[in-house]
Amino acid sequence: MAPFITHASCMSAKVDMTERLFNLVVPLAESPATAMRTTETNAHASAERSGAVSLPIGTSLRPGDVDSTNHSTPPTVRMPGCRTSTTATRTTTTRTTSTGRVPSADKSGPRAEFSFSELVQAYLDCRQHKRNTSSALAFEQNQERNLIELRDELLSGQYRPGKSICFIITRPKPREVWAADFRDRIVHHLLYNRISARFYASFIADSCACIPGRGTLYGAQRLETKIRSITQNWSQPAHYLKCDLANFFVSIDKAILWEMIAAKVPEPFWRELTHTILFHDPRRHFEWRGDRNKIELVPPHKRLTNQRAGYGLPIGNLSSQFFANIYLNALDQFIKHKIGCRHYIRYVDDFILLHRDPHWLNAALKGINAFVRERLNVRLNTSKTILQPVDRGVDFVGSVIRPWSRRTRKRTKNEALHRIACLPADRVWQTANSYFGLLRQSPSSHSDRAALANAVRRRGNSVDMNLTKTYQKRT
């Protein structure tokens, strides 16, 4: 136990606390070395340095980061009864080290419009579901260097989109898909992460697709809620008007879209980057993948290759889905505020209006048809325009809503049964679990899941008792 020290002896010794400030931001390899500046806290800055204090954090710190110098210091008055150690007899004053501005990967210079961490986050978002693709693996082999080069191109204004990949999908119907290069998709995510919030703040709650938390399940549930509201829980009659825009993605007028985007993107850097992505024409530099004969399955008026310059967005990019929502936000605002439709919902280019009077819906259809032609330079698909009572069933985003039930489309169930019957045995459990997850989103799907479970058991796999999951067949 340490002995007690009197008040007089307590005043004769003093130990100053050491203050150390270190710069813990580590610059990238290409950044210049950081020059650290030291400032004397005592007037006698030229006094001899003592080697009694060792480096506190390994040997990575340079000499001079922490120094000790002996100086005489006036005694400090302590309160009576203080307890201290008898070994504290040496008075030490430590110089304070201040740090200057350190260039690093996260600070790309005074004119930088985005941080390096934002670019890394965009890269992580881009590879989330595509990490095993060849382009993602090639980029990841030297990801730090590739990200630095991409950052330098963006900040210097030398960035230009690269080669796209074109291929044809046949389900649910033949479409022409244009996939941008992996590094270009990173730029799409970077732009989306920065400017999407300002546009989403102006979107109505009934706009779905490519919005966080507003997918197909959100659209189906919201439409069912609206139908129950207007029919007073299926006790009153009501009608619905379902419309679809003809050849929407390949008919978008980029000049009109640019006016809508530029009004909310005043920053020069992001405005220029948005203009580069929007007006990039993938048809000038692309690679064809797959069977070329499948292109004949896509009608000529639905092909991007057959459109005029300045029209059409490539299906398959995040930027195209985001731009499409901006384009049709004008339609949402017109229907909600000009026409005055209370019960309305849209998923991409499919939208539904609900009302008790069918004549009111007919008048609204004329106003919508004129608006999309004059303001958006697109037209409605007359063959897919439907006006009928809601109790006959409303088909929307893969679900069919009828009185007291919501089920998955019959076509989807039949396709699931056909695929389970034809797939190789080692792929049955994965595909079946995907369809179980899709079917269980509908409250009235027990009979559909039972049919799928029977098809899975016929292939030799087992299913849990709740008809929600299958297991891999043991070989």
Q: Which pLDDT belongs to residue 142?
A: 93
End-to-end Cα distance, the chain: 72
Q: Which residues contact 64 (CB under 8 A, 6 or more apart)?
A: 38
The two structure tokens encoding residue 249: 């993605």
For residues 22 and 364, give the distance between their C-alpha atoms in angstroms, rounded to a whole number: 67
For residues 77 and 17, give the distance between their C-alpha atoms in angstroms, rounded to a whole number: 16
Q: Which pLDDT belongs to residue 256?
A: 97
Phi, psi of 406 (to 5 degrees): -140, 120
pTM as predicted:
0.75
Q: Which pLDDT belongs to residue 378?
A: 96
Residue 185 CB-density burial (10 A; 0-12 exposed, 13-18 middle, 19+ buried)? buried
Distance of CA 24 to CAs 115, 200, 287, 319, 359, Å? 18, 37, 46, 37, 70
Cα 331–Cα 337–Cα 343 angle in degrees, nearest 5: 80
Q: Which pLDDT belongs to residue 322?
A: 96
Residue 144 CB-density burial (10 A; 0-12 exposed, 13-18 middle, 19+ buried)? exposed
Q: Which pLDDT belongs to residue 129?
A: 81
- 184 neighbors 123 (Cβ within 8 angstroms): no
Q: What is the chain's Cα-based Rg?
A: 33
Distance of CA 385 to CAs 149, 224, 239, 298, 381, Å? 49, 20, 13, 22, 7
The two structure tokens encoding residue 371: 């608006």
Q: Using alpha carbons, select from 98, 126, 48 the residue that is nearest to residue 318.
A: 126
Phi/psi region, residue 34 (left: phi>0; alpha: psi -120 to 50; beta: rest), is beta
For residues 295 and 169, give the distance between their C-alpha atoms in angstroms, rounded to a whole number: 9
pLDDT by residue for the chain (475 residues), tens only, comes to 444 344 444 334 343 444 433 333 334 444 434 444 434 444 343 444 434 333 443 444 344 443 434 444 444 444 444 444 443 434 434 443 434 443 344 444 434 589 999 999 999 999 988 888 888 999 999 999 999 999 999 999 999 999 999 999 988 889 999 999 999 999 999 999 999 999 999 999 999 998 999 999 999 999 999 999 999 999 999 999 999 999 999 999 999 999 999 999 999 999 999 999 999 999 998 999 988 889 999 999 999 989 999 999 999 999 999 999 999 999 999 999 999 999 999 999 999 999 999 999 999 999 999 999 999 999 999 999 999 999 999 999 999 999 999 999 999 999 999 999 999 998 999 999 999 999 999 999 999 999 999 999 999 999 999 999 999 877 6
Cα 59 from chain centre: 42
Residue 17 CB-density burial (10 A; 0-12 exposed, 13-18 middle, 19+ buried)? exposed
Q: Which pLDDT belongs to residue 171?
A: 82
Q: Of all helices (H) and strands (E), which one includes residue 121? A: helix 116-126
